[in-house]
Amino acid sequence: MNILVINCGSSSLKYQVINSDTEQCIAKGLCERIGIDASQISYTPAGGEKEVTVTPMPDHTEAIRLVLEALTNPRTGVVKSLDEIGAVGHRVVHGGEKFAQSTLLNDAVMAAIEECNDLAPLHNPANIIGINACRKLMPTTPMVAVFDTAFHQTMPEEAYMYGLPYEYYQKYKIRRYGFHGTSHSYVSKKAAEVLGKKYEDLKIIVCHLGNGASVSAVKNGKCVDTSMGLTPLEGLIMGTRSGDLDPAILEFIAHKENKNIDEIMTILNKKSGVLGLSDNLSSDFRDLEAGYNNGDENASRTLKTFCYRVAKYIGSYVAAMNGVDVICFTAGVGENAPLVRSMVCDYLGYLGVSIDKDANAKRGEDIAITTPDSRTTVMVIPTNEELAIARETVRLVK
Ligand code: AMP
């Protein structure tokens, strides 16, 4: 069956078609600047040339119509008609406490997703717009919502509660939810598979280090803790997000810089992280690595602080699980930055981690980067959130 996977943002829409029998991506692309001027769609069939077309896209319905047109184009399309698309899987950022699993979409589910909008005001409304546009154009095709938060719903209360008045949890559901769940789930399962061990027997820590970054602790096949919280701002230092802070800093900056709460939140979300810490050198780890290797002080401070925070989270999750068998690195930085991996692993002597330098230099493979005698295995597992969404979609529509 061919599955169309949609990841819809407020002005962009990523798509992939995955054949669920071969698990291969047969076409993919991106719509950008939806609802703005100079919108464009890119389309790449597997093994073919990437095509970029600049064309008006006043709304998401038009963007999806163009995606479907590209997929069925007689010359370059990958399906003859939309009947060859068996189902659509939609990424949805926040499922609150309502959704601990992926779910088939219907009107009642749509209403329940809308109720989660308060928890992710930047993301969920955009996801919903994408789903509605798809349902309009493909009214008889089954659709599934796959939530970023669902995998983390197994966290115990002591991991998800904040030290705040309990009434805020009761009234507003303020608690830790965690994100990147599809990636944490995919990578932890894949690690067990590659090692030939039972998922349910392992204690795994997944470090998803991309522009957004989070760590999770997966014990016996269930997530028991993760570093992001009510929103994706908590936890690690990220591309432009601060991660963990003393909350009193907000008030301090507000007074010193005469800023209101919205301005402060913009600073924490968009101007902080490795970008801010490096004194605006870059949010891209390629630049930071290059700077570090050239002795740049801003890059050095930033990479050291970033890696120290990752190592601290790993340590806290070893404590939470009373041990660890496997530590996985994934996402843009985790998969491609050997320097970051080795700087993090330098802290892990107490776990008997011994890095194989040649393996750590490789790219694009599911691979252990520790020596055979390393007491804890460290792996690089390229994430594949689209495939994970396609698998969930097939599971629910079959
Ligand atoms: P993601 O959010 O998972 O797509 O990750 C994007 C980030 O990965 C980029 O902002 C870069 O910082 C990082 N990245 C991508 N390629 C490399 C590379 N070759 N070396 C270091 N970092 C990389």
271/58 Cα distance (integer angstroms) = 29
Q: Kindly give the distance from the C-alpha atom of residue 334 to the centroid of ligand 1, in angstroms, as a whole number.
A: 8
Which H/E stretch holds residue 270?
helix 261-270
Is 215 among the domain residues? yes
Q: Kindly give the distance from the C-alpha atom of residue 157 to the centroid of ligand 1, in angstroms, as a whole number.
A: 33
Is 190 among the domain residues? no
231/129 Cα distance (integer angstroms) = 20
Strands (E), the chain: 2-8, 13-19, 24-32, 40-45, 51-54, 85-92, 103-104, 143-147, 203-209, 213-219, 222-226, 326-330, 367-368, 377-380
Is 248 among the domain residues? yes
Residues 143 and 202 in one domain: no
Task: Give the pLDDT confidence score for residue 364 in this predicted structure.
Answer: 87
Is residue 221 exposed (0-12), middle (13-18) or buried (19+ Cβ within 10 Å)?
middle
Is 64 among the domain residues? yes
Task: Give the pLDDT confidence score for residue 329 in this predicted structure.
Answer: 98
The two three-digit tokens of residue 265, written as one number: 């939140």
Cβ distance 283 to 274 under 8 Å? yes
The two three-digit tokens of residue 52, written as one number: 């970029």
Residue nearest to atom 17 of ligand 1 (CA): 336
Active-site residue list: 148
Residues 299 and 374 in one domain: yes
Helix (H, G, I), strand (E, B) or coil at 200: helix
Task: Give the pLDDT confidence score for residue 91 in this predicted structure.
Answer: 96
Is 157 among the domain residues? no
The count of domains in the chain is 2
Task: Give the pLDDT confidence score for residue 3 in this predicted structure.
Answer: 98
Residues 26 and 132 in one domain: yes
Ligand 1 atom nearest 208 alpha carbon: 3
Residues 104 and 215 in one domain: no
Instruction: Give the range of the structural domain holding residue 22, as residue numbers without chain letter.
Output: 2-147
Residues 202 and 310 in one domain: yes
Task: Give the pLDDT confidence score for residue 121 in this predicted structure.
Answer: 85
Cβ distance 215 to 226 under 8 Å? yes
Last residue of a domain, one of 147, 169, 189: 147
Task: Give the pLDDT confidence score for residue 291 in this predicted structure.
Answer: 98
Task: Give the pLDDT confidence score for residue 175 in this predicted structure.
Answer: 98
Residues 334 and 211 in one domain: yes
Residues 349 and 241 in one domain: yes
Q: Walk along the chain (398 residues) in steps of 10 and give the mean pLDDT of each run.
A: 94 96 97 93 96 94 95 95 96 96 96 92 90 94 97 98 98 97 98 98 98 97 98 96 98 97 96 98 97 98 98 98 98 97 98 97 94 97 97 96
Is 341 among the domain residues? yes
Task: Give the pLDDT confidence score for residue 163 in this predicted structure.
Answer: 98
Per-residue pLDDT of 13-27, as tens digits, reads 999 999 999 999 999
Cβ distance 286 to 297 under 8 Å? no
Strands (E), 178-260: 203-209, 213-219, 222-226
Mutate to test the pocket of ligand 1, among 285, 289, 363, 381 (most ligand atoms within 8 A of CB): 285
Q: Residue 208: what residue type?
A: H
The two three-digit tokens of residue 323, written as one number: 């041990």
Residues 38 and 107 in one domain: yes
- Order of strands, edge to edge, in the sheet holding 222-226? 222-226, 213-219, 203-209, 326-330, 377-380, 367-368
Residues 217 and 329 in one domain: yes
Task: Give the pLDDT confidence score for residue 122 in this predicted structure.
Answer: 81
Ligand 1 atom nearest 340 alpha carbon: 21
Mutate to test the pocket of ligand 1, among 287, 333, 344, 386 (most ligand atoms within 8 A of CB): 333
Residues 131 and 233 in one domain: no
348/197 Cα distance (integer angstroms) = 23
Task: Give the pLDDT confidence score for residue 38 in this predicted structure.
Answer: 92
Residues 202 and 138 in one domain: no
Is 255 among the domain residues? yes
Residues 134 and 238 in one domain: no
Q: Please report, for the domain that includes residue 336, its CATH number.
A: 3.30.420.40
∠340-343-349 over CA atoms, to 5°? 140
Is 395 among the domain residues? no
